[in-house]
Every structure is written in structure tokens, then in C-alpha cells.
A = this chain, B = another copy of it.
């Protein structure tokens, strides 16, 4: 398959490197704000090469968001699985979020959260895909909390869904906070606020 595709004139640019550049543009400007001109210029190619290699703006965005989750988001969500307790898992998840969202050498906030918030007939697939990814993230949080219940760390009647919703919402808010230029310290203050809810939530469930 791969061997057969080596016929014809070879591509003169690195497809993965160009995709990463496209990701940065979408990340900074959002889906509608990023024009084909912007993208092609950042990728160092002309628009026909872009369309030949990726198909369309929509397809390019979908590939870019996939790359984003794998490269930029992986570390954050890995914390959920690796931490020994649910409490530590949530805390590390939020702290890594604060760190990632305040990196000064890349766009602030999250591409998944901010990439395409305004639905439109011409952007239906884009919005649906981002929504699906956000829903997956919510499920990952819920699963980790449920594991905490199963392992006896949290009371049996702990509301995992509600808690997961809360922490996911805090993370989404941090994207907007980061876009407003919040410092890492300010984002960590939000993390501290969210974690302050932990004890009360666990105790309330027991009562």
C-alpha cells in the first residue's frame, strides 16, 4: 500500500511538520478565523498543495485537532490514569492544565474548547467533532472518579457525574481565563479553588 503510493512526483514538504503549523494557526485563530491563506502561508506551501494533501479546510482541521489531542493534550489526561488516588488524579489533571494553558510560546487556552464554539450549517461537522472530544474528556473524568468509588477512596453515593461535570467546566473556564492573559499563578488559584470543593463533595455524599 505504502510502497505503491511512492509513484509520481514526491511531496517537497513534510506533511506532519506542515500539519503542526496548521494546528498552531487553528489554535490561535479558531476554525473560522483561520483562512486558507493564513494556513498555507504558515505551512510554507500553496493552497493546491494543501488541498492535495489534506482534502479540505474541514479535513485539515479534523487532522489538526487529532494531532492536538495526541501531542498537546496527552500529558494532561495521562495524569488521570497514573495518579494513585482520584483526588491526586484530579489535582494533577488541573495543575497540568494550568501549566499547559499558560505556556507563553504557544496560543493560550485549549483548541478543543475554543476552536469552534458557534455552530453554523457550514461548520456542523467541526462543532460536532469538538463536542464529541469534550464529551470524551468528561467521560474520562467520570470514569476516574468511579474508580475512586470502586476502590473505597470515595463514598458509594458520591455523585461522579456531577463532580466530573464540575471539574470539566472549571477546565473549560480556564481556557477563557488563559485567553484573557491570566498568569500561571492565576490559573493555579483557580485550581486551588476547584480542589477546595473536594472535601466538601466527598463529605456531603457520605451524609
A binding-site residues for B, Cβ under 8 Å: 28-30, 32-33, 109, 113-114, 117-118, 120, 131, 134-135, 159, 161-163, 165-177, 179-180, 182, 186, 189-190, 192-201, 204
Contact = CB atoms under 8 A, between A and B. Distances in A.
- The secondary structure that dominates the A interface is helix
A8 B114 CA distance: 47
A189 B166 contact: yes
B176 A169 contact: yes
A199 B194 CA distance: 12
Given A166-B190, A173-B172, A193-B166, A117 B114 contact: yes
Contact of A170 (B169, B192, B199): B169
A179 B83 CA distance: 31
A200 B199 contact: yes
A40 B199 CA distance: 52
Given A117-B179, A173-B172, A201 B196 contact: yes
A39 B53 CA distance: 36
